[in-house]
Amino acid sequence: MKSTALLLTTLLVLAGCSSTPSRYQHRQDFTPRPISDVHSLPEPTPKAEPRSAMGNPVSYRVFGKEYRLLPTAEGYRERGQASWYGMKFHGHTTSNGEIYDVYQFTAAHKTLPIPSYVRVTRLDNGKSVVVRVNDRGPFHGGRIIDLSYAAAVKLGMERQGVADVEVEVISPAQPKAERWVQVSALRDAEAAKRLQQQLQQRLQDAGWTVSISPSADPAPLHRVRIGPVPEGDALQQLLQELQPLNLGQPLLLARHQL
């Protein structure tokens, strides 16, 4: 049959699955109801997520073999055999406590952090699918990933049950850090207003916002700031634009410093 990936909720469950078959309603795995149009099902969009509280032990043991989790998913790429698991496990909890759904694009992996996002490419036909790893397995020799039924259909491997694939981690885009550029802190509110207008006119093509942030002191400072500006090329370009104005060394602030 297709796969023997074990759906694990805790390390104790994982270690005891082989001796507790009553955890599942069915003794044998079996094929779900066919998917009429797999391309109508949305693949998951990779996003930054914290590690799940469950399913991420430093190491664990199954069938007498110890597995150690990778410290990071970054850069992971491996070729090997993929399998898939079906209705025996449908509706049961995965290693991180989520519910396995054969019609979602998910997967089980032995050592990747949970959750991780990977692209699985079938080597003989070039078909690929993005899946979210939320489970542990497969614990068959030579198999590197266990796919949901939907993912298997997307790769065209639902009939033979196994296929040679390449698995590559997709790193979600990380939001860039932002900075506010404080160019002056003036006692004179009118002078701060003139500077704000001058800068806003100069920077209007770039679209940066110039604001005045008064302090709460009895004699407040009127702090003229530009931002938020993403770190990187945009911030460097802004700083170069300010240099001819002879405003002195600008102060770069993070959000928590505002």
- Give tens-digit pLDDT for 156-209: 999 989 999 999 999 886 667 899 999 998 989 999 999 999 999 988 888 889
Task: Dump pLDDT digits (tens) for 45-96.
Answer: 998 898 999 999 999 999 999 999 999 998 899 999 999 997 788 788 999 9
What is the pLDDT of the chain when averaged over all its residues? 85
pLDDT in the model for residue 188: 92
> For residues 122, 127, 131 and 135, what is the CA-based torsion angle, rounded to 10 degrees?
-30
Pick the closest to residue 66 from 166, 171, 136 (CA basis).
136
Q: What is the DSSP string of 124-152?
A: TT--EEEEEEEE----STTEEEEE-HHHH
Q: Are 170 and 46 in contact (CB under 8 A)?
A: yes
| pLDDT exceeds 70 at position 18 | no
Q: What are phi and psi of 65, to 5 degrees?
A: -110, 135
Confidence of residue 26 (pLDDT cuts 50, 70, 90): low
In this prediction, residue 216 carries a pLDDT of 72
Global confidence as pTM: 0.62
SS3 of residue 106 by DSSP: strand
**pLDDT for residue 24:** 62
Instruction: Give the pLDDT score at 200.
Output: 92
